[in-house]
Amino acid sequence: MSSPIVTGILSFGMSGRIFHAPFVHAHPGFQFKAVLERNQKNAVKYYPDVVSYDRIEDMLNDAEIELIVVNTPNQLHYEQAKQVLQAGKHVLIEKPVTANLTQLLELYDLAKAQNKHLFVYQNRRLDSDFQSVKEVIESGRLGNLVEAHFRYDRYKPVLSPKAFKEAAGMDSNGLVYDLGPHLLDQVISLFGKPLTSHKVTASHREGSAVIDYFNYQLTYPHQLTVQVTSSLLVAQPLPAFVLHGTAGSYIKDRCDVQEAQLDQEIKPTDAGYGVEPEGCEGQLVLMGINNEKTIEKIPSHTGNYLNLFEAVYQTIVNGALYPITDEHIAWQVELLEA
């Protein structure tokens, strides 16, 4: 194996602690060297050898660091990713990568000019529930798909205490830019760029200045319609994935356990990591001759976000194609800002 990729993370809040540090630390192809912590110095409690920088300039000037994770608030992603690339380092950037397509294309051009990689972190492709959906679609058992529904709902009527998340006038705030990138990336990874799109948004929570509900209706070849919906006022969530085809239907709840496990400090290399609990199996309903109905429970494979970091490693070290392509992200950002 080549020398580990020396890596820094720009924030050690929830995102850094749960979604990035455990994987950079666990993967032998990375050396977790530094974090940026302007106030509280918490990373050392989990990673005693990590360096904690006070300013982004200190991390950018660290000649050993080759890759920096940009996982700061949405409105900082574009400028900080640009700084990282200009410093001659690869960047792994949290969703949403940018607020608009113009910014995204500028970053891609800069990455090419610097001969560095710009990776977008779309971990929900590696959720166990979505992997189950992907497997059923690719099996062809549903026949020709007619309709698909993707949902990601929460019940959060109280405004976030993080003021930047609720501030009006920021072009990457609100639910569209929070959960929209997850859902749209999943759809795009399965079906590609839609032929048409129609977006409806609303703000329902008392005092909300940002979008807290959205619905996309996307059309694809062969008259496939895909609905993408998210709300912060759903007390009883519907199934996360509902697929209907000419031969049957597939219904799957949102069952991935990785975020909850990581929050409990379960490591991605621990036994049982990413394994859905019993009772979360998807339901495959197939129609046979004379409309005879067969119902089958479909267990999910283990989810593991470590595979995303493996893809980053293989791209940097061996020139492999990163599965979350520039084209996929460009289509996503077009839909976000529509």
Domain ranges across the chain: 5-121+307-322, 125-303
Options 3.30.360.10, 3.40.50.2020, 2.40.50.430, 1.10.3720.10; CATH of 125-303? 3.30.360.10
The reported pLDDT for the residue numbered 101 is 97
Homologous superfamily (CATH) for 5-121+307-322: NAD(P)-binding Rossmann-like Domain (3.40.50.720)
Question: How much is the pTM?
Answer: 0.96
Cβ count within 10 A of residue 239: 15
pLDDT in tens, the chain (338 residues): 579 999 999 999 999 999 999 999 999 999 999 999 998 999 999 999 999 999 999 999 999 999 999 999 999 999 999 999 999 999 999 999 999 999 999 999 999 999 999 999 999 999 999 999 999 999 999 999 999 999 999 999 999 888 778 888 788 899 999 999 999 999 999 999 999 999 999 999 999 999 999 999 999 999 999 999 999 999 999 999 999 999 999 999 999 999 999 999 999 999 999 999 999 999 999 998 888 999 999 999 999 999 999 999 999 999 999 999 999 999 999 999 99
d(CA 87, CA 111): 11
d(CA 302, CA 280): 12
Give the helix ranges, DSSP H, for 126-197.
128-139, 163-166, 175-178, 180-191
Which residues are within 8 A (CB) of 142 and not within 5 positions of it... i.e. 6 or more apart?
136, 243, 244, 245, 246, 247, 248, 249, 250
Give CA torsion, residues 26, 18, 7, 111, to 10 deg: 120
Instruction: Confirm if 215 and 199 have CB atoms less than 8 A apart.
Output: yes
> How many H helices and E strands in the chain?
13, 14
Q: Measuring CA to CA, which residue among 97, 38, 44, 90 is closest to residue 71?
A: 97
Q: What φ, ψ does residue 268 adopt, rounded to 5°? A: -65, -10
Residue for token digits 């209706």?
Answer: 217
SS3 283: strand
The reported pLDDT for the residue numbered 2 is 79
Residue for token digits 């980053």?
Answer: 312
Cβ count within 10 A of residue 134: 16
